[in-house]
Amino acid sequence: MLNTIKYSFIIPVFNRPDEIYELLESFCNLDFVDDFEIVIIEDGSTIKCNDIVSFFNSKLDISYHYKKNSGPGSSRNFGMKIAKGNYFIILDSDCILPSHYLKTVNQFLEIEFYHCFGGADTSDSSFSSIQQAINYTMTSLLSTGGIRGNKKSIQKFEPRSFNMGLSKEVFNKTNGFSNIHPGEDPDLSYRVLELNYQTVFIPNAFVYHKRRISWSKFYLQISKFGLVRPILNKWHPKSAKFTFWLPTIFILFSFCSIFLGIYYNSLFFVPLLSYLFLIVADSTFKNKSLLVGLYSLIALFIQFTAYGLSFLKSTFLINFLKRDPEKQFPKLFFK
C-alpha cells in the first residue's frame, strides 16, 4: 500500500485533437479535489493537439510531449517514465470521464489497495447510433461475455488500456507495454498476474468510450484483435480459453443454420433467429433506440466475422505452421 497515492493520467494521442479537447474538458468537471497530473504524449501526429493542451493549462496540471511515432504502448511507457505520480491511470484519447471517475477509483483503492485495476467502457446518449451499437456488441454479455469490463471479479481480471490503472512499482517490474498492437494491454495484464500481483475490476469506474470509427474501420480493428489472440496464447499459454473460438464457431453455426434451413427444414433457422432477436431486443432496451438495436446486428456480424476468420488464420499460421509472429504479421508490431 502506498502511503499517499499521487495519480498521473497517461494519454497517448495520434491525430485526434478534437478528442483531446472533449477528454480534457471532462477532467475539469471531476469531483476529485486532490492534485493529479495529466501527461499527454503526441505519438508523431501530423495534426497536433498542443494548442488545445495550452488552452487547458490554466485549469489543469498538464504536461505535453511530442515524440516520433512508435505506437501507443511505447508512448504510454514514455509517459510513465516521466510522470511525477506513483500511480498511473491510462486512458485512450477517445474517452470521456464521468465526474465521479477519479473519486470512485480513489475511494476504492484507499479501502483496499491493488497495484493494477481496470474499469468498464460504455457509451453516452450523445454518441451516434453506430457508436452506441459498436459499444453494445463490444461490451454485452450476449456478444463478448462482458470480458471488457462487466466482470466484477477481484482476481484474474485483465484490465484494458482504454481504462487501466498501474502502480509505479508494477511498471518498474514489468517494463510496461510491449511493442505489439493491438494486444499490448492483455499482454501486460498477463505479465502483472505472472508476477503474483492481483488485479481488480472497480465497479462504477467506467469511461465513455467514443470510438470514432466507421463500419470498415471497425472490421479492421476487430480483425487485428483476432490475429493477435493466438500470438498472446503462445506467449502466455495459461491465458488460452475455449471462448476465444466462439466467434469462429458462430460463423460456422450461422452458415449451417442458413444452409439447413433453406435445403432441409425451416426449423433450423429458429436458434439463430432467436439469438439475433435477443440481441436486437436487448440493445434496443438498453440504448432506448430501435435503430441502435438494428445496428447492433450489423456490428455483431462484423465483430464475429472479422475476429473469427482472423483468429482461425492466425491460429493456423502461428500454432500449426509455427511461423514467427513478428515476421508473419509485421504490421502488428512497432519497432
Tell me: do 303 and 198 sit in the same domain.
Answer: no
pLDDT along the chain (335 residues), means of 10: 88 92 95 91 93 94 94 95 97 95 96 94 88 92 67 63 95 96 94 93 93 86 96 93 92 96 95 96 96 96 96 96 95 89
Q: Is 125 domain-assigned?
A: no
Tell me: do 65 and 114 sit in the same domain.
Answer: yes
The pLDDT of residue 146 is: 56
Tell me: do 200 and 260 sit in the same domain.
Answer: no
Position 56: which residue type?
F
Q: Is 144 domain-assigned?
A: no
Residue at grid coordinates 482461425: 312
Strands 62-67 and 87-91, sheet pairing:
unpaired
The pLDDT of residue 33 is: 75
Question: In Å, how far are 49, 65, 66 from 44, measured between CA atoms?
Answer: 11, 10, 7
Tell me: do 64 and 181 sit in the same domain.
Answer: yes
- Domain of 45, CATH number, reads 3.90.550.10
Tell me: do 189 and 302 sit in the same domain.
Answer: no
Peptide bond into 182 cis (omega under 30): yes
Tell me: do 190 and 44 sit in the same domain.
Answer: yes
Q: Is 250 domain-assigned?
A: yes
The pLDDT of residue 1 is: 65
Tell me: do 259 and 175 sit in the same domain.
Answer: no
Tell me: do 40 and 89 sit in the same domain.
Answer: yes
- Domain count within the chain: 2
User: Is residue 247 within 8 Å of 304, Cβ to Cβ?
Assistant: yes
176: left (phi over 0), alpha (psi -120 to 50) or beta: left
The pLDDT of residue 321 is: 96
Residue at grid coordinates 484507499: 110
C-alpha cell at position 3: 502511503
Tell me: do 83 and 186 sit in the same domain.
Answer: yes
Among candidate residues 44, 19, 153, 150, the one with its CA nearest the CA of residue 95: 19
Q: Is 145 domain-assigned?
A: no
Q: Is 286 domain-assigned?
A: yes
| Domain extent at residue 52 | 7-119+159-212
Q: Is 148 domain-assigned?
A: no
User: Is residue 207 within 8 Å of 97, Cβ to Cβ?
Assistant: yes
Q: What is the Cα Rg of the chain in Å?
A: 21
User: Is residue 279 within 8 Å of 296, Cβ to Cβ?
Assistant: yes
Tell me: do 273 and 182 sit in the same domain.
Answer: no
Give all strands of the β-sheet with 36-43 in edge-to-edge order. 62-67, 36-43, 7-13, 87-91, 163-167, 116-118, 199-201
Tell me: do 197 and 235 sit in the same domain.
Answer: no
Which letter, b or e, does each residue of 166-188 get, where b requires 16 or more Cβ atoms within 10 Å of its Cβ? bbbebbeebebbbbbbbbbbbbb
For the entire predicted model, the pTM comes to 0.90
Q: Is 201 domain-assigned?
A: yes
Q: Is 114 domain-assigned?
A: yes
Among candidate residues 250, 292, 290, the one with its CA nearest the CA of residue 271: 250
Tell me: do 234 and 86 sit in the same domain.
Answer: no
